[in-house]
Structure 1
Amino acid sequence: MVERRPWLDILAHVILLCGVAMVAFPLYVTFVASTQTAQEVASAPMSLIPGPHFVDNYMQALFGGSSGGSSGAPVGRMMYVSLIMALAISIGKIAISLLSAFAVVYFRFPGRMFFFWMIFVTLMLPVEVRIAPTYKVVADLGMLNSYAGLTLPLIASATATFLFRQFFLTVPDELIEAARIDGLGEWAILRKITIPLLKPTTVFLVVFSSIGFLRILDQVYNMTTNDPGGPLGSTKPLVLMIYQTAFSSYAMGYAAAQTVVLFTILLCVSLLQLWILREKK
Structure 2
Amino acid sequence: MIERRPVLDFVSHAVLILGVAVVAFPVFIAIIMSTQTASQIASSNPLSLVPGGNLAESYRLALMGGQTQSGSTIPPGWPMLWVSFVVAMVISLGKIAISIISAFAIVYFRFPFRGLVFWLIFITLMLPVEVRIGPTYQVVADLGLINTYAGMTVPLIASATATFLFRQFFLTVPDELAEAARIDGAGPMRFFKDILLPLSKTSMAALFVIQFIYGWNQYLWPLIATTSEDMYPIVLGIKRAIFGEIYVEWNVVMATAILAMLPPAIVVILMQKWFVKGLVDTEK
What residue ranges of structure 2 are gaps of 5+ in the alignment?
278-284
Seen in structure 2, the aligned counterparts of structure 1 residues 252 and 179 have a Cα distance that, compared at 3 Å, is: same
Seen in structure 2, the aligned counterparts of structure 1 residues 103 and 40 have a Cα distance that, compared at 3 Å, is: same
Q: Is the 8 A contact 1:144 1:223 kept in 2?
A: yes
**In structure 2, what is the equivalent of residue 220 of structure 1?**
222
**Cα RMSD, aligned residues only:** 2.1
CA shift, 1:276, in A, is 6.1
Matched pairs, number: 273
Post-superposition CA distance 1:49-73 (Å, at most 9, x none): 2223212101112222223433323
**In structure 2, what is the equivalent of residue 272 of structure 1?**
270
Question: Residues of 2 paired with 1:222 and 1:275: CA distance?
Answer: 36
39-48 vs 110-119, greater mean Cα deviation: 39-48
Question: Residues of 1 paired with 2:69 and 2:97: CA distance?
Answer: 46
SS at match of 1:150: helix
Q: Is the 8 A contact 1:122 1:158 kept in 2?
A: yes
TM-score (norm 2): 0.89
**In structure 1, what is the equivalent of residue 32 of structure 2?**
32
Seen in structure 2, the aligned counterparts of structure 1 residues 68 and 190 have a Cα distance that, compared at 3 Å, is: farther
CA shift, 1:89, in A, is 1.7
Post-superposition CA distance 1:161-190 (Å, at most 9, x none): 111111111100011111011111111011
**In structure 2, what is the equivalent of residue 183 of structure 1?**
185
Which of 247, 251, 262 does residue 243 from structure 2 map onto?
A: 247
**In structure 2, what is the equivalent of residue 203 of structure 1?**
205
SS at match of 2:73: strand
Question: Residues of 2 paired with 1:122 and 1:261: CA distance?
Answer: 34
Post-superposition CA distance 1:198-219 (Å, at most 9, x none): 1111112122212221222211
**In structure 2, what is the equivalent of residue 159 of structure 1?**
161
**In structure 2, what is the equivalent of residue 52 of structure 1?**
53
**In structure 1, what is the equivalent of residue 65 of structure 2?**
64
| Amino acid in the other structure paired with 2:168 | Q
Question: Residues of 1 paired with 2:253 and 2:2: CA distance?
Answer: 53
Percent identity over the alignment?
A: 49
CA shift, 1:3, in A, is 5.3
Question: Residues of 2 paired with 1:58 and 1:2: CA distance?
Answer: 51
| Amino acid in the other structure paired with 1:189 | F
Question: Residues of 1 paired with 2:3 and 2:34: CA distance?
Answer: 50
Question: Residues of 1 paired with 2:59 and 2:8: CA distance?
Answer: 45
TM-score (norm 1): 0.90
What residue ranges of structure 1 are gaps of 5+ in the alignment?
none
